[in-house]
Amino acid sequence: MNYQIFYLPARIGRLGELAYNVWWSWNPDASALFQYLDKTLWELTHNNPVKLLRQIAPAKLEAAAADPAFLRRYDGVMLAFDYALSCEGDWFPQKYPNLKNETIAYFSAEFGVHNSLPIYSGGLGILAGDHSKEASDLGLPFVGVGFVYPEGYFTQKISAAGQQEAHYLQLDYSMSPIEPVFTKDTSGPIKFHLGGRDIYVAVWRVRLGSGSLVLMNADVEENQPWDRELSARLYGGNRETRLLQEMLLGIGGVRMLRALNLNPAVYHANEGHAAFLLLERIREFVAAGKSFEQAVEQVRATSIFTTHTPVPAGHDTFHFSLIEKHFAGYWNQLGIGREEFMALGAYNDHFGGGTNFNMTALALRLSGRYNGVSKVNGEVSRKMWHPMWPDKTENDVPITSVTNGVHVPTWLAPELSRLYSKHLGQDWLRQHDDPKFWERMDEIPDEELWNLHQRLKAKLLSFMRERARKRWMNEGTGATHALASGTFFNPEALTIGFARRFATYKRALLIFRDIERLKKILQDSWRPLQIVFAGKAHPDDAPGRSLIHSIYEIARDHQIGGHIAFVEDYDILLAKHLYHGVDVWMNNPRPPLEASGTSGMKAALNGVPNLSVRDGWWFEGYHGTNGWVIGADPMVEMSEEERDDADVESLYSTLEREVVPLFYERDSDGVPRGWVQVMKEAIRHGAPAFSARRMVKEYTERLYLSAMQAAEKK
């Protein structure tokens, strides 16, 4: 890519290249560089350097190029940037020098890397983004494969009537850190023969340090109008669109890699959406002369599959007729007949769905290694997929687990990163997955951690206010809308955050079950509590949308007094403010339905303790001193009603007896010593164990390495 598209004085000419490598977003010095150029524009562009460089006044750039202080920072950042790109000294090439050319291809329907790239909807995508960034940091030869959705996922507004409105904005490629590879401005889209017709896709690249994502988009002129829709939106369309989208991801994804001259050693499918990649690889081996059985063996040996979904209904399935329609003619290329082909995906979920072509079953049959995303989720998955291994006991079902982790440099507040550098050493980031290292947490003075947290909280509240103000100014939304968005929030009051996708099992309304009791807690004049909610519901999910409506109604009820807020449009930018700035992170899904959850991990590493039911990651993350467990034992069977009652009672009493008193118990200097201790424990346990660094190393050593070695031998 030619980065000369921006006007840049030669002395700072590499800012363009930096803007187009999302690495800047997880290096606090690099992001500060753009911020220094024009702080206002930085805010207005929602921290998007591509947009900033396109819009900034040339005089500001010239001034920066002549400012010795700026240049010193610039040179420092460029040095670090080149070092990151070189992978020199990174963990993987150091430890496995003989494997450093064996690429891992990671397929995912979504990637959440930055808010300027709306190609994610929630947890699954953020996880894929974090995995990719950490793979780059560790020097793993890595390429992510997915889509760029021209209409992305929607932005959310709450109407005056309290309803979620979904707005799909057209992605402006020129304002995103995305580089053309095969597009109409370069050599043109590439062509596949797929499902009986030709289909064209444009290919784009997103740079993440030394690694990258390569993304397809079918919205090109060469395609028929209906095919242009295939990658228009994330999870849009009907079942058939969904099937075609998944064919494009799996089969098209492999072919795109070939068009890029990439022949990865190992393939990792993040969730069942990408499972067709396994078929395509079999097809390739058969075309190269292997038998179907040999091809399957080779594909299994080099494929990893991660399942996240803890309920049978959540797995992707298709009617056989639909599969027949689009795969007729494909199975003979695999060297098998129709029956054998259908059997690869056939699965009866035993929960009323009947027998269908099931993407998870397909992935389990054709990959060699599989995992769930937390210890509980591994257990749930073994139970759910036990019928696939009728000869084994449930415990011996070969689905293991690798607990999720979060990319620490992305999710840690830059201010905290500086605090850790100051007290734990400049080198802290290199060792952050080592639990022993964090035993030094006490070297950080309580006052400093506490005061910094106050600053981050103030930043969150001002972010909320500005969002509300903008909406009010631009659209004249009623004043109650502004109040319901948290403008009455008090920087001194204990603040709980709750943000997630609004699906009913997440039980967003649990805390409102006894509103009078809650009001007493919220409105205690000496020890008030306030709760900020955020999150989207899938536009087709009426019950989910109704949850948002209910919370919004409570937020604007004057009797609540502004202690409850709903902030619109939960995206990466808002998420960061929340994880950095609230005092407690709350999570109360109905167990065991939380596969892992990662928002609580992000909160923890910022010193925000969790208040959560014992499910997902918290089942293994809770250590008695780093937060609070609420609710009944998840392993005990009880009715939904009974569980809701037990859990909410436990939630209220934990708040009343433990959380609120501890937060307001201050020393003579105003520091809540006991509270700060919990904050430190949250960091000490959370940062190493739930880092993406620990996770990617674990994937590498437990799953990728043997697959890489199998690939070498072929």
Ligand X SMILES: *Cc1c(COP(=O)(O)O)cnc(C)c1O
Chain positions contacting ligand X, by CB under 6 A: 122-123, 126, 500, 570-572, 575, 597-600, 602
- Contact at 8 Å (CB) between 710 and 301? yes
- Contact at 8 Å (CB) between 566 and 526? no
Which residue, 132 or 358, has its beta carbon nearer to ligand X?
Answer: 132
In whole angstroms, how close is the CB of 308 to ligand X at the nearest point? 10
| 51 Cβ contact list (under 8 Å, min separation 6) | 45, 116, 175
Output the six-digit token pair for 164: 């979620």
Which residue, 64 or 109, has its beta carbon nearer to ligand X?
Answer: 109
Indicate left, alpha or beta for 306 from its phi (over 0: left) and psi (-120 to 50: alpha). Answer: beta
Q: How far apart are CA 106 and CA 120, in angstroms?
A: 15
In whole angstroms, how close is the CB of 597 to ligand X at the nearest point? 4
Which residue, 358 or 598, has its beta carbon nearer to ligand X?
Answer: 598
Q: How far apart are CA 79 and CA 397, in angstroms?
A: 48
In whole angstroms, how close is the CB of 563 to ligand X at the nearest point? 23
In whole angstroms, how close is the CB of 25 to ligand X at the nearest point? 13
Which residue, 579 or 652, has its beta carbon nearer to ligand X?
Answer: 579
Whose tokens are 């999570």? That residue is 587
In whole angstroms, how close is the CB of 651 to ligand X at the nearest point? 17
In whole angstroms, how close is the CB of 370 to ligand X at the nearest point? 20
- Contact at 8 Å (CB) between 361 and 279? no
Which residue, 177 or 621, has its beta carbon nearer to ligand X?
Answer: 621
In 355-508, where does DSSP find H-type helix?
Answer: 359-366, 375-384, 408-411, 414-424, 446-475, 479-482
Query: What phi, psi does 223 have (nearest 5°)?
Result: -85, 155
Output the six-digit token pair for 138: 């560790």
Which residue, 92 or 619, has its beta carbon nearer to ligand X?
Answer: 619
| 581 Cβ contact list (under 8 Å, min separation 6) | 456, 457, 458, 459, 460, 461, 463, 495
Q: How far apart are CA 578 and CA 566, in angstroms?
A: 12
| Number of helices followed by number of strands (H, E) in the chain | 31, 21
Which residue, 570 or 699, has its beta carbon nearer to ligand X?
Answer: 570
In whole angstroms, how close is the CB of 524 to ligand X at the nearest point? 28
Which residue, 544 or 600, has its beta carbon nearer to ligand X?
Answer: 600
In whole angstroms, how close is the CB of 135 to ligand X at the nearest point? 18
Which residue, 91 or 502, has its beta carbon nearer to ligand X?
Answer: 502
- Contact at 8 Å (CB) between 207 and 23? yes
In whole angstroms, how close is the CB of 422 to ligand X at the nearest point? 27
